[in-house]
Amino acid sequence: MADEALFQFLHSEIIQYVNSAEPGESENGRCVSKLENMGFRVGQGLIERFTKDTPRFKDELDVMKFICKDFWTSVFKKQIDNLRTNHQGIYVLQDNKFHLLTQLSAGKQYLEHAPKFLAFTCGLVRGALSNLGVKSIVTAEVSVMPACKFQVMIQKM
Amino acid sequence: MSRQSNRATDSKKMNSELFTLTYGALVTQLCKDYENDEEVNKQLDKIKFTSHVVLHRFFQEGCAAGKITNKMGYNIGVRLIEDFLARSSVGRCHDFRETADVIAKVAFKMYLGITPSVTNWSPAGDEFSLILESNPLVDFVELPDNHSNLVYSSLLCGVLRGALEMVQMAVDVRFAQDTLRGDSVTEIRMKFIKRIEENLPAGDE
């Protein structure tokens, strides 16, 4: 029943910690991958708990729909606003008001810090997909705060 | 799709699991980071009073990760108090007993969905214990043998300390018992140290 404020504060503390543990511009990639790895583990755990009573998914698209609707709603209290795909394994999930960015200024001021706030969630999605049997690479981009796009590239096994 | 039915009830529970699992991932990362940490070893060089191995373990698991989560908790508490005061209609507490009640019955309820009991008051009324029947932070946790010193939930201590500091109370918070380490309940011991005077201008002498 943990209140969402608690998660938000914890999330920003984690970002703070990871960045202070790996100072320097060159280490930036490592920060992001550390956050991503943490998210991955959490995503795996969540999806395991979450799908234990759901019927088997029909196909990849069905899995993606599940992530956009149910998974997103339970984690971020809203659905993904737009899901697009090229039907060749690339999906773009667009959230017009991403929960973890709403605390930052909507202007351009903190735009450069935005990637840090997305890495954990990228991992979250990748971990969730991974435990549903879909291997993927997830990246995120922000052009205007607090909207952001997650791109999921499915790796064919 | 048929899969959408009865999801609403799960949502709140999911969010708590998100928090629990995220915290777990953080502690795991901390333990990894500090496994071969040079800082820890440097400190070890300075302090030589027991066997190297024992001390190394102590720093590695008990202190390093615990200290950092405590510090993070403090930072969270400092900000969480504002959220708390804005959302609850709790006013100023007139004594430590009232503070204890608010923490147990309002704050814990609001953020973790549990209501710890307040016991073991010291005769002077400046020290009490919060007994947690269940600790949501440790829902999926088992401490491996080589981390038996880890104070897993020390984030909570930090949160309490930070939040109370913002309402002018310096309080010492620590875990006296922990179910993760084999005790039957989780006990958080809180000791009032002093009232922080408001009228000191920051950084002024």
Higher-confidence residue of B81 and B150: namely B81
Q: Give the pTM.
A: 0.82
Which of B30, A128, B187, B54 has its CA nearest to residue A152?
Answer: A128
In which band, very low, low, confident or very high, does the pLDDT at B203 lie, cut at 50, 70 and 90?
low
Nearest Cβ partner of B112 from A1, A38, A50? A1
In which band, very low, low, confident or very high, does the pLDDT at B201 lie, cut at 50, 70 and 90?
low
Higher-confidence residue of B24 and B36: namely B24
Mean pLDDT calculated for residue range A131-149 = 89
The amino acid that residue B23 corresponds to is Y
Using alpha carbons, list the distances in angstroms from residue B26 to A12, A42, A49, B133, B169: 12, 10, 19, 24, 29
B3 to chain A: nearest residue by CA? A54
CA gap A15, A10 in Å, rounded? 9
Position A16 scores a pLDDT of 84
The answer to whether B86 contacts chain A (CB < 8 Å) is no
CB A9 within 8 A of CB A100: no
State pLDDT tens for residues B63-74: 677 778 888 889
Average per-residue pLDDT for chain A:
86
What residues of A are in contact with residue B162 (Cβ under 8 Å)? none
Which of B31, B5, B23 has its CA nearest to residue B139?
Answer: B23
Position B104 scores a pLDDT of 93
At residue B15, φ and ψ (nearest 5 deg) are -65, -35
Average per-residue pLDDT for chain B:
78
In which band, very low, low, confident or very high, does the pLDDT at A6 lie, cut at 50, 70 and 90?
confident
CB contact under 8 A, A1 and B21: no
CA gap B192, B170 in Å, rounded? 6
CA gap B159, B173 in Å, rounded? 10
Residue B153, pLDDT > 90, answer no
Size of interface A-B (CB pairs under 8 A): 111
At residue A144, φ and ψ (nearest 5 deg) are -125, 125
